[in-house]
Amino acid sequence: MRIPPQPSEERSQRALAGLLGTPPLHPLLEAAARGEFPPWTQAGPPRREHMRRVAALLGEWARLRGEGPVEEARWRAAGLLHDVLRDADPRTLRGGLPPEFRDLPDKVLHGPAAAHRLREEGVADGELLEAVRFHTLGWPHFGPLGWALYAADFLEPGRQFQEEWRRDLRARAPADLEGVAKEILRARILYQAERGRPLHPWTVAFWNRLAQGQPWANASEL
Ligand SMILES: [Fe+2]
Ligand SMILES: [Fe+2]
């Protein structure tokens, strides 16, 4: 359950690299930002279309937020790569993961597996790896990129459900990533709870982080 969050150091290294005029992104991320999937991608054509739409949405949000060209590329790369192992055999993915991820359900293994593989390929961008690793379950230490990927995965326009609500959230996202991520998480938690399903502790921790500052219930409430 314990994975040390450490993106700030890498973020400052990237900023320094930018100031020095050296390429700040790993070549694999630069290629992904251009729309190129790594050769080890295991995702079929419909899945790749979904990843392209998530990448496009993230690039648009980064641009509207004025993040600058390097961040735009980095956000697009996160979108293109988040499901890069989505269609791999879960049994194979499980065996290659660190112990803290091996008990996860099949459907959510692909996030940790993609982050693990990207790290093996030399990607050392901790914030991006966290965003990819936890894009399904959520994670309390997400920053803007983590919130953005969590939201864009749900809001990309190719998905066909609750279109009016999702269009509204897409429009709000660039200015309020955290608020939009919270609204999506709330809907997902309610959906799970109404069906009597369990919530993963990381998802609960994500909610508690986003609900920080709200009072606990009084004894007279519910
Ligand atoms: Fe996914
Ligand atoms: Fe996805």
Q: What is the 3-state secondary structure (H, E, C) of 64-91?
A: HCCCCHHHHHHHHHHHHHCCCCCCCCHH
Closest ligand, as measured to the CA of 152: 2
Q: Measured in angstroms, how far is the CA atom of residue 77 from the centroid of ligand 2?
A: 13
pLDDT digits (tens, 9 = 90+) for 157-214: 999 999 999 999 999 999 999 999 999 999 999 999 999 999 999 999 999 999 988 8
Q: Based on the structure, what is the number of domains in the chain?
A: 1
pLDDT of residue 139: 97
Position 1 in a domain: no
Residue 158 domain flag: yes
Query: For residue 68, what pLDDT is reported?
Result: 95
Tell me how far apart the alpha carbons of residues 190 and 120 are, in angstroms, rounded to a whole number: 36
Q: How far is the CA of 4 from the centre of ligand 2 (A)?
A: 24
Please indicate, yes or no, if residue 47 is contained in any of the structural domains. yes
Query: What is the whole-number distance in angstroms between the Cα of residue 111 and the centre of ligand 1?
Result: 6
Residue 58: which CATH number?
A: 1.10.3210.10
* Host domain of residue 83: 7-210
CA of 66 to the centre of ligand 1 (A): 27
Could you tell me which residues come within 8 angstroms of residue 170 by beta carbon, excluding any fewer than 6 positions away? Answer: 57, 155, 157
How remote is the C-alpha of 31 from its chain's centroid? 19
Note whether residue 222 is domain-resident: no
Task: Say what percent of the chain tops pLDDT 90.
Answer: 84
Considering only residues 13 and 150, tell me which one the structure prediction assigns the higher pLDDT: 150
- Ligand nearest the Cα atom of residue 47: 2
- Please tell me the distance between residue 109's alpha carbon and the centre of ligand 1 in angstroms: 9
How many whole angstroms separate alpha carbon 102 and alpha carbon 94?
5
Report if residue 2 sits inside a domain: no
Spacing, Cα 222 to ligand 1 middle (Å): 35
Please report which ligand is nearest the Cα atom of 54.
2
The mean pLDDT of 47-51, rounded to a whole number, is 98
* Ligand 2 center to 160 CA (angstroms): 14
Q: Of residues 17 and 156, which shows the higher confidence score? A: 156
Does some domain include residue 144?
Answer: yes
Q: What is the pLDDT of residues 102-149, one digit of tens each?
A: 999 999 999 999 999 999 999 999 999 999 999 999 999 999 999 999
Residue 74 falls within a domain, yes or no? yes
Q: Mean pLDDT over all residues of the chain?
A: 91
- Distance, in Å, from the CA atom of 61 to the CA atom of 199, rounded to the nearest integer, reads 29
Contact present, 87 and 44 (Cβ < 8 Å): yes
Cβ atoms 9, 19 nearer than 8 A: no
User: What are the backbone dihedrals phi and psi of residue 164, each rounded to the nearest 5 degrees, phi first?
Assistant: -65, -45
Q: What is the pLDDT of residue 219?
A: 62
Distance 209 CA to ligand 2 centre (A): 23
The Cα–Cα gap between 84 and 44 comes to: 10
